[in-house]
């Protein structure tokens, strides 16, 4: 048996434990905890730690805690000290830079080195002279190679380092847990019984060709050893099919399950090492490993994942006699949406759509009778293996079967479904969609609230057109995990495991001096997966990963020189962001604000026309779209042989010459107070890695507007607000994509360069 605290002990033999909890008590704050002489010394940091040496964060000294809390993630019950959600926001080790840290604390200045997953490098805690109710200290990041000035790490990395949940996810999960606790009491077939300490698993009793039957559930077959998890709060034991204790072989799973503090639960599932080339074989090797150092190395490099598909016991009740569909419903509520313990979804065979999915399904699945009970150790006819038919397409190549009809059908289905979460087949891949009833846009005027299901339905419906604009381009995500009313952050680095239909590309970031992993959205499954992760806006790069046969290296990792020389340095477009100056914020009433908004948009249209005239006189073709806010975006496709430094210089000279010719209309001045009623022609977007919203990207505005391509002849009559999440799919279906084939209009910049004295 492994306790989470043993994991702690193993780490702290050489170094001291460092933990930051995000804590939603009466007020949201962060708790910094440093292990010292057998206890945790703690500070409450209201704004959270920062990696910016320019930021000094108030840290109020609070009472010491026992070491056990260092492994805890969950909800502290009402009535207990610190009641509320506690999320493991960062975790690792620390080392004092003073000889005597106790003395340093007493003196009021502690220098220390942190090795967390988010916080790294040197920090200092300094006690301030003022002593109010508590002891006030300041937490300051010291300058070193880990410092990231300007970044707010609490926004860019809001997730738990153990389960990858946000604190809102944790709150939703806790509600689910409470529901399960109540439901178990009145579940048909549940029997009051102590939790078993070992059980042999149930096995499929045969094989069948693909079939459709509403009484069966179809799970994707997971590759890897069968393992049952016996959880009792922080005590977790994992056993293989022969009931051998394998907890020590997969400490990362034991730790994640322990952190969930399930009040007695037995789970059935499969361990796999998803990041390995052969996930099943790698997992079998891991479970057979006896050398602890080898296990640790493997854990760090290729962490294991537990794919759970059944719940055999919960609380004081055995669920062996409960129907499978009910057991799985409860399990789905118990498991977090993200992390290393994941729920294996199923497709219920209800009606023609599902039958079609079964025919198309490309992987082996296990069909299970929905009403069946669990028979430990038996091979049962209630479970059968289903082999794919030879004609079915592979999961990755299944994209070819993604048609506008299927996209529309999925959109409709999502809007119609009542389930909170749902697994859908998208071009051959199974994509799990969760928290579908989360409000993403609060109710506004006559429009009802828009839920996450509406956002996903929108992206499903526009995917046949949108994907052509996203394919092969690294993406910058703009995530709103709790809807547009919640916090948001830009994200270009994906830190975690991704499903195998998602392409990740390592790209060197010169400022951070390391590679980040960018998501490239090549297929509809990736698109829906991204939206499910709260990515409201799509910002694709202007350059693509592939080199179009031009010989530039398609390798972007390791150094700035590599990226500079690569295909990512050759954009497909010159882009201009036209941003009108408005006094909207300062306007008196709603009516006045509306007048000003329309005036600003009108000015923007005039400038777009002037810019187009200039560019067309040099042979370029321009495309225009609404920004979805007050401005317009103008894109001119160019032959792919100019580097970003050339396109930026072209855009700069062009914008400045316009500002000289039309000084009352155009400015290139960034600062709002200097724009004074003019339209900013922002050329600074022509930089590698910078992005504007992609065509058909939703914007995080109150109106749920969409950045919409517009024909030049229609531009005069267009109001950005007329294009929104609820009407753009119909417009696209009726009129098609105005930007379709945009790359066919690429022209050489030679005439432009000579006109701007750059030749
Ligand atoms: Mn606290």
Are 511 and 52 a contacting pair, CB within 8 Å?
no
Phi and psi at 631, nearest 5°, equal -105, -170
- Return the residue matching tokens 């003196």: 107
Closest C-alpha to 369, from 503, 206, 232: 206
Give 614 or 345, the one with higher predicted confidence.
Answer: 614
Q: In terms of Cα–Cα distance, which of 307, 311, 320, 392 is closest to 357?
A: 392
Strand partners, 61: 43, 135
Centroid of ligand 1 to alpha carbon of 85 (angstroms): 10
Of 44-48, 106-110, 130-134, which range is least confident? 130-134
Q: Which residues are within 5 Å of ligand 1 (an ion), measured at CB?
A: 23, 31
CA–centroid distance, residue 215 to ligand 1 (Å): 48
How far does residue 63's CA lie from ligand 1's centre (Å)?
A: 10
pLDDT of residue 111: 96
CA distance 691 to 316: 54
Burial classification of residue 517, based on how many CB atoms lie within 10 Å of its CB (0-12 exposed, 13-18 middle, 19 or more buried): middle
Tell how far the Cα of 81 is from the centroid of ligand 1, in angstroms.
Answer: 9
Bridge partner list, 346: 219
| pLDDT given for residue 430 in this prediction | 82
Return the CA Rg of the chain.
28
Name the DSSP class of 485.
T
Task: Evaluate if residue 619 carries a pLDDT over 60.
Answer: yes
**pLDDT classification of 148: cutoffs 50, 70, 90:** confident
How far is the C-alpha of 162 from the C-alpha of 358, rounded, in Å?
35
| Pairing mode of beta strands 341-343, 305-314 | parallel
At 151, the pLDDT band (50, 70, 90 cuts) reads confident
Q: Locate 115 and state its tokens.
A: 């090795």
pLDDT of 598 strictly over 80: yes
**Is the Cβ–Cβ distance between 17 and 35 less than 8 Å?**
yes
The Å distance, Cα 53 to ligand 1 centre, comes to: 24
Q: How distant, in Å, are the alpha carbons of 473, 541, 545 from that of 470?
A: 6, 8, 11
pLDDT of residue 139: 97
CA geometry: angle at 533 spanning 121 and 238, to 5°?
75
What integer pLDDT is reported at residue 2 of this predicted model?
41
Number of C-beta neighbours around residue 695 at 10 A: 26
The candidate with the shortest Cα–Cα distance to 85, out of 4, 160, 13, 14, is 160
473-498: average pLDDT: 86
Kindly give the distance from the C-alpha atom of residue 37 to the centroid of ligand 1, in angstroms, as a whole number. Answer: 21
Report the distance separating Cα 566 and Cα 427, nearest Å.
31
Cα–ligand 1 centroid distance for 84 (angstroms)? 9
Quote the CA–CA distance of 351 and 338 in Å, as a whole number.
30
**CA 233 to centroid of ligand 1, rounded, Å:** 21
pLDDT at 583 over 60: no
Q: Are the beta carbons of 71 and 259 closer than 8 angstroms? A: yes
pLDDT digits (tens, 9 = 90+) for 119-134: 999 999 999 976 666 7
Q: Is the pLDDT of residue 495 over 70?
A: yes
Partner residues linked to 400 by β-bridges? none
Q: What's the CA gap between 479 and 525, in Å, rounded?
A: 18
488-492, 624-628, 678-682: which range is least confident on average?
488-492
Among 122-126, 188-192, 659-663, which stretch is predicted with the lowest mean pLDDT?
A: 659-663
User: Is pLDDT above 60 for 5?
Assistant: no
- Whether the Cβ atoms of residue 425 and residue 361 lie closer than 8 Å to each other: yes
Q: How far is the CA of 78 from the centre of ligand 1 (A)?
A: 14
- Residue 158 CA to ligand 1 centre (angstroms): 17
Q: Tell how far the Cα of 29 is from the centroid of ligand 1, in angstroms.
A: 7
Q: How far does the centroid of ligand 1 lie from the alpha carbon of residue 44, in Å?
A: 6
The whole-number pLDDT of residue 710 equals: 97
Query: 50 C-alpha to center of ligand 1: Å?
Result: 17
Instruction: Give pTM, 2 decimals.
Output: 0.65
Tell me the CA–centroid distance for residue 46 and ligand 1, in Å. 9
Cα 30 to averaged position of ligand 1 atoms, centre (Å): 6
Percent of the chain with pLDDT over 70: 91
Distance 332 CA to ligand 1 centre (A): 29
The mean pLDDT value of the chain amounts to 88
**What percent of the chain clears pLDDT 90, i.e. is strictly above it?**
59
* Among 439, 447, 430, residue whose Cα is nearest residue 343: 430
Residue 394, pLDDT above cutoff 60: no
- Residue 711, Cα to own-chain centre: how many angstroms? 34
Half-sphere CA count of 436, side-chain side, radius 13 A: 21
Residues in the chain: 759
Nearest to 488 by CA among 476, 498, 500, 496: 476
Cα of 342 to ligand 1 centre, how many Å? Answer: 28
pLDDT band at 159 (very low <50, low <70, confident <90, very high): confident
DSSP string, 136-164: EEEEEEPSSTT--TT--HHHH--S-TTT-
Which residues lie closer than 8 Å to 78 by C-beta, 6 or more apart? none
Q: E strands along 330-463, which residues?
A: 341-343, 346-348, 365-369, 379-380, 383-386, 422-426, 429-433, 439-441, 450-451
pLDDT at residue 444 in the model: 83
DSSP-derived 3-state class of residue 546:
coil
CA-closest candidate to residue 517, choices 535, 538, 492, 537: 492
pLDDT at 749 over 80: yes
CA–centroid distance, 83 to ligand 1, in Å, is 9
**In angstroms, what is the span from residue 164 Cα to ligand 1's centroid?**
20
683-697 pLDDT, tens digit per residue, is: 989 999 999 999 999
Find out whether 610 and 603 touch, Cβ atoms under 8 Å. Answer: no
Give the number of C-alpha atoms closer than 13 A to the C-alpha of residue 459, restricted to the C-beta side: 29
Dist. CA 158–CA 433, nearest whole Å: 20
Task: Please say if the pLDDT value at position 360 is more than 60.
Answer: no
Render pLDDT for 302-344 as a digit per residue (tens, 0 to 9). Answer: 889 999 999 999 999 999 999 999 999 999 888 877 778 888 8
Integer angstrom CA distances of residue 181 from 94, 185, 333, 754: 38, 7, 11, 74
């Amino acid at each position: 048996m492994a306790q989470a605290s043993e994991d702690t002990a193993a780490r702290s033999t050489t170094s001291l434990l460092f933990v930051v909890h995000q804590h939603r008590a009466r007020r949201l704050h962060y708790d910094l905890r440093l292990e010292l002489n057998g206890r945790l010394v703690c500070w409450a940091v209201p704004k959270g730690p920062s990696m910016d040496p320019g930021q000094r964060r108030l840290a109020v000294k609070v009472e010491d805690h026992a070491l056990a809390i260092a492994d805890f993630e969950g909800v502290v019950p009402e009535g207990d000290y610190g009641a509320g959600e506690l999320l493991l926001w960062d975790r690792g080790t620390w080392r004092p830079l003073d000889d005597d840290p106790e003395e340093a604390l007493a003196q009021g200045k502690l220098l220390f080195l942190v090795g967390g997953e988010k916080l790294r490098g040197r920090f200092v805690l300094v006690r301030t002279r003022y002593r109010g109710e508590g002891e006030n200290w300041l937490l300051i990041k010291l300058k070193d190679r880990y410092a990231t000035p300007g970044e707010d790490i609490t926004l860019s990395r809001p997730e738990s380092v153990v389960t990858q949940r946000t604190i809102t996810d944790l709150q939703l999960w806790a509600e689910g847990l409470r529901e399960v606790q109540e439901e178990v009491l009145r579940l048909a077939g549940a029997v009051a019984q102590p939790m078993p300490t070992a059980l042999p698993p149930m096995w499929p009793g045969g094989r069948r060709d693909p079939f459709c039957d509403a009484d069966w559930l179809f799970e994707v077959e997971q590759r890897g050893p069968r393992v049952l998890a016996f959880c009792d709060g922080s005590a977790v034991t994992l056993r293989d099919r022969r009931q051998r204790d394998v907890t020590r072989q997969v400490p990362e799973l034991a730790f994640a399950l322990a952190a969930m503090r399930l009040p007695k639960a037995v789970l059935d599932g499969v361990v796999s090492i998803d990041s390995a080339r052969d996930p099943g074989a790698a997992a079998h090797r891991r479970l057979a490993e006896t050398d602890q150092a080898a296990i640790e190395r493997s854990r760090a490099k290729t962490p294991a994942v537990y794919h759970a598909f059944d719940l055999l016991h919960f609380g004081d009740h055995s669920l062996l006699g409960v129907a499978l569909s009910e057991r799985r419903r409860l399990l789905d509520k118990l498991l977090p949406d993200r992390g290393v313990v994941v729920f294996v979804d199923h497709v219920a065979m209800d009606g023609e759509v599902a039958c079609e999915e079964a025919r198309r399904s490309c992987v082996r699945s296990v069909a299970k009778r929905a009403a069946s009970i669990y028979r430990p150790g038996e091979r049962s006819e209630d479970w059968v293996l289903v082999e794919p038919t030879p004609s079915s397409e592979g999961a990755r190549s299944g994209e070819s079967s993604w048609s506008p009809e299927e996209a529309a059908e999925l959109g409709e289905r999502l809007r119609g479904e009542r389930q909170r979460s749902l697994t859908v087949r998208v071009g051959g891949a199974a994509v799990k969609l969760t928290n579908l009833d989360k409000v993403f846009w609060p109710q506004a005027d006559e429009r009802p609230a828009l839920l996450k299901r509406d956002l996903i339905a929108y992206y499903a419906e526009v995917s046949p057109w949108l994907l052509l604009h996203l394919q092969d381009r690294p993406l910058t995500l703009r995530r709103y995990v709790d809807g547009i009313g919640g916090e948001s952050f830009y994200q270009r680095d994906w830190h975690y495991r991704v499903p195998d239909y998602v392409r990740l590309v390592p790209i060197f970031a010169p400022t951070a001096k390391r590679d980040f992993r960018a998501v490239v959205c090549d297929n509809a499954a990736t698109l829906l997966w991204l939206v499910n992760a709260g990515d409201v806006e799509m910002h694709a790069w202007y350059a693509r990963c592939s080199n179009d046969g031009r010989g530039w290296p398609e390798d972007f990792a390791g150094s700035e020189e590599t990226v500079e020389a690569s295909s990512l340095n050759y954009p497909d477009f010159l882009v201009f962001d036209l941003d009108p100056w408005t006094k909207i914020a300062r306007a008196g009433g709603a009516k006045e604000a509306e007048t000003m908004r329309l005036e600003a948009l009108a000015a923007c249209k005039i400038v777009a026309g002037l810019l187009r005239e200039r560019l067309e006189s040099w042979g370029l073709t321009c495309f225009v779209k609404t920004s979805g806010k007050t401005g317009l975006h103008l894109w001119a496709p160019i032959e792919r042989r100019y580097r970003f430094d050339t396109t930026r210089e072209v855009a700069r000279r062009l914008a400045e010459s316009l500002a000289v010719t039309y000084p009352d209309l155009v400015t290139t001045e960034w600062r709002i107070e200097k724009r004074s009623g003019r339209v900013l022609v922002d050329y600074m977007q022509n930089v590698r890695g910078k992005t504007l919203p992609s065509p058909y990207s939703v914007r995080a505005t109150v109106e749920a507007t969409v950045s919409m391509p517009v024909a030049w002849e229609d531009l005069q009559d267009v109001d950005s607000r007329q294009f929104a999440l609820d009407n753009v799919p119909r417009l696209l279906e009726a009129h098609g994509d105005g930007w379709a084939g945009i790359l066919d209009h690429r022209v050489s910049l030679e005439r432009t360069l000579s006109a701007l004295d750059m030749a």
